């Protein structure tokens, strides 16, 4: 490792738990006299800082010199990684398997072949029980090397068994790669633009998905193969907005872990993703009772003793629970109580937001903005919408960028900011035309708001609301235009203006009917 940036080292030290810091001190103490180990002095100095400040460290620690720091940082970073590996070797199964593989290779290099075989058997047993095909292939590779060194009467049988295992594992890895590649590609499509926008998008992604699927017999697939197969189906159906089929495969994905609970601590991140996907489709289909039960299962992971909660898992859990807790309030039409949840968790959100991916951040900001909009707090809604519209990176979730602009316009209209509405209409038109994403839904809303700036008579204003509602009702019948209603319930907003009722009360009424039909 030729160079370690100060930020990398600082972030690694700050990510350590108290136990890991204590283990590191014990680990380096084994290396001998720590009195003249300057990298430990550097560790203590960085650990005390809230923000990395090299000048302060050099000023306070007179034994450290500027010319030494680059090498010290590299050495400290590598020692921390080695310490982390040892500290987590018992809790992270993959590290334990790799450790056994390393031991087997070391024994082989020392010509201790029979001892090597024993270590191979241990590693293989662990790899099989944890469904780790990649590791299993590497173990078989070592076994092929050592078998010629341990000739005995049963050698031919073992050779045949190794060949059979290798063929089976290779086929399994091939399928896992195909299924996971399909899934990650579909996820990247969704992350870029959201749900399919038109017939061309649908045909393109359907052709891609069907052409990519290999011939398989479901009964012959391993746990890991099924896991990625169901994940790819969920990604596909969610992307094309076929939530009923997505619900079928999300259930199959979760059922895998329910049928083999011992795999939950082995693949905890995938278990969280499976529950998250099931929650997403239950939300879209208004299966509220099922949704609340699944959400309880997701939250229960935090208390599951068999699952070691790493920083990464805590981040995944926080994101999923936070988003679905907001979705729960959307499902009930309880926007005001939803904003109280947001306010209560804002400090925790600020703690995690720097570690979240941009896609998740944009999604969270948009959902928070919608909660405030639904509660009638348009000013605060704009605060969160501005976080999206001011984001320079708009290659991610183009749909959220588009609808954030629409919602911002309507919020300014509600606040009576007529001058801003007029300016924003022009800039929003330019944005949609530049992106080639001016749908009828968006055009009708922009024309409607533009018309309201001209027409002031109450009767004519009311007529324009009624006209736009009729146009929107018509668009709901269009397979691709109705996509827009997943982002913002424009019809309920229009009805609130026509009937002089709050958006929240109208949506609660509608949701009550939907939930009865879905149950």
Cβ atoms within 10 Å, residue 119: 22
Q: Determine the Cα–Cα distance for residues 73 and 83; give it in Å rounded to an integer.
A: 15
pLDDT at 119: 94
Task: Decide if 240 contacts 186 (C-beta within 8 A).
Answer: no
Q: What is the CA radius of gyration of the chain?
A: 28
pLDDT at 272: 96
Q: Determine the Cα–Cα distance for residues 178 and 484; give it in Å rounded to an integer.
A: 32
Task: Decide if 381 contacts 373 (C-beta within 8 A).
Answer: yes
Task: Decide if 253 contacts 80 (C-beta within 8 A).
Answer: no
199-233 tens-digit pLDDT: 888 998 999 999 999 888 999 999 999 999 999 99
pLDDT tens-digit profile, the chain (519 residues): 445 678 888 889 988 888 888 888 888 887 665 545 788 889 989 999 888 888 898 888 888 888 888 888 898 999 999 888 887 776 678 888 999 999 999 999 999 998 999 999 999 999 998 888 889 999 999 999 898 787 676 677 888 888 999 999 999 999 999 999 999 998 888 887 778 888 888 998 999 999 999 888 999 999 999 999 999 999 999 999 999 999 999 999 999 999 999 999 989 999 999 999 999 999 999 899 999 999 999 999 999 888 888 888 999 999 999 999 999 999 888 999 899 888 888 788 887 888 888 888 889 999 999 999 999 999 999 999 999 988 766 566 778 888 898 899 889 988 988 888 888 888 888 888 777 777 888 888 888 888 877 765 555 778 888 888 898 888 888 888 888 888 888 888 888 888 888 888 888 888 777 766 655
pLDDT at 7: 85
Burial of 363 (C-beta count, 10 Å sphere; 0-12/13-18/19+): buried
pLDDT at 122: 94
Q: Determine the Cα–Cα distance for residues 142 and 124; give it in Å rounded to an integer.
A: 11
Q: What are the distances in angstroms from CA 328 to CA 74, 331, 338, 467?
A: 47, 5, 9, 32
Q: Cα 309 vs. chain centroid, distance in angstroms?
A: 16
Q: Determine the Cα–Cα distance for residues 21 and 10; give it in Å rounded to an integer.
A: 13
How is the chain split into domains, by residue range? 6-87, 93-176, 366-519
Task: Decide if 267 contacts 227 (C-beta within 8 A).
Answer: yes
**DSSP conformational letter for 307:** S
Q: Cα 127 vs. chain centroid, distance in angstroms?
A: 26
Record the tokens describing residue 449, joined without a space: 């708001």
Q: CA angle 90-88-40, nearest 5°?
A: 140
Q: CA angle 400-405-407, nearest 5°?
A: 90
């Amino acid at each position: 490792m030729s160079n370690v940036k100060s930020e990398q080292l600082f972030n690694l030290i700050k990510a350590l738990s108290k136990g890991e810091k204590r283990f590191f001190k014990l680990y380096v103490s084994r290396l001998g006299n720590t009195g003249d180990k300057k990298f430990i002095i550097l560790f203590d100095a960085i650990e005390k800082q809230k923000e990395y400040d090299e000048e302060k460290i050099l000023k306070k620690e007179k034994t450290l010199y500027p010319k030494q720091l680059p090498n010290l940082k590299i050495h400290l970073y590598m020692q921390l990684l080695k310490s982390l590996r040892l500290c987590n070797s018992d809790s992270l199964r993959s590290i334990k398997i790799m450790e056994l593989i390393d031991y087997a290779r070391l024994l082989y290099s020392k010509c201790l072949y029979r001892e090597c075989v024993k270590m191979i058997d241990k590693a293989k047993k662990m790899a099989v029980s944890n469904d780790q095909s990649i590791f299993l292939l590497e173990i078989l590779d070592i076994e092929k090397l050592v078998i010629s060194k341990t000739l005995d009467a049963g050698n031919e049988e073992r050779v045949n068994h190794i060949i059979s295992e290798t063929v089976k594992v290779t086929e399994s890895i091939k399928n896992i790669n195909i299924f996971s590649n399909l899934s990650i590609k579909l996820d990247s499509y969704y992350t870029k633009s959201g749900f399919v926008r038109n017939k061309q998008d649908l045909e393109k992604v359907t052709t891609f998905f069907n052409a990519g699927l290999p011939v398989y017999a479901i009964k012959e697939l391993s746990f890991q193969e099924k896991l990625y197969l169901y994940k790819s189906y969920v990604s596909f159906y969610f992307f094309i907005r076929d939530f009923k089929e997505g619900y079928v495969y999300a259930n199959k994905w979760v059922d895998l872990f329910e049928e083999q609970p011992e795999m939950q601590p082995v693949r905890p991140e995938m278990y969280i993703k499976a529950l998250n996907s099931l929650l997403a489709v239950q939300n879209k289909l208004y299966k509220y009772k099922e949704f609340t039960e699944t959400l309880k299962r997701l939250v229960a992971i935090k208390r599951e003793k068999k699952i070691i909660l790493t920083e990464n898992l805590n981040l995944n859990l926080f994101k999923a629970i936070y988003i679905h807790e907001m979705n729960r309030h959307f499902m009930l039409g309880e926007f005001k109580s939803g904003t109280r949840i947001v306010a209560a968790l804002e400090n925790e959100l600020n703690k995690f937001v720097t570690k979240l991916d941009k896609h998740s951040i944009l999604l969270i900001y948009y959902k928070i903005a919608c909660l405030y909009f639904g509660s009638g707090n348009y000013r605060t809604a704009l605060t969160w919408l501005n976080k999206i519209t001011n984001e320079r990176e708009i290659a991610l979730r183009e749909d959220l960028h588009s609808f954030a602009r629409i919602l911002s316009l309507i919020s300014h209209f509600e606040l009576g900011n007529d001058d801003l509405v007029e300016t924003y209409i022009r800039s929003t038109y330019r944005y949609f035309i530049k992106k080639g994403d001016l749908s009828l839904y968006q055009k009708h809303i922009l024309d409607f708001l533009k018309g309201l700036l001209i027409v002031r008579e109450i009767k004519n204003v009311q007529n324009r609301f009624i006209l736009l509602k009729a146009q929107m009702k018509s668009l709901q019948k269009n397979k691709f235009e109705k996509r827009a209603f997943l982002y913002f319930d424009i019809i309920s907003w229009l009805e609130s203006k026509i009937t002089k009722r709050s958006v929240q009360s109208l949506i609660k009424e509608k949701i009550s009917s939907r939930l009865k039909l879905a149950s």
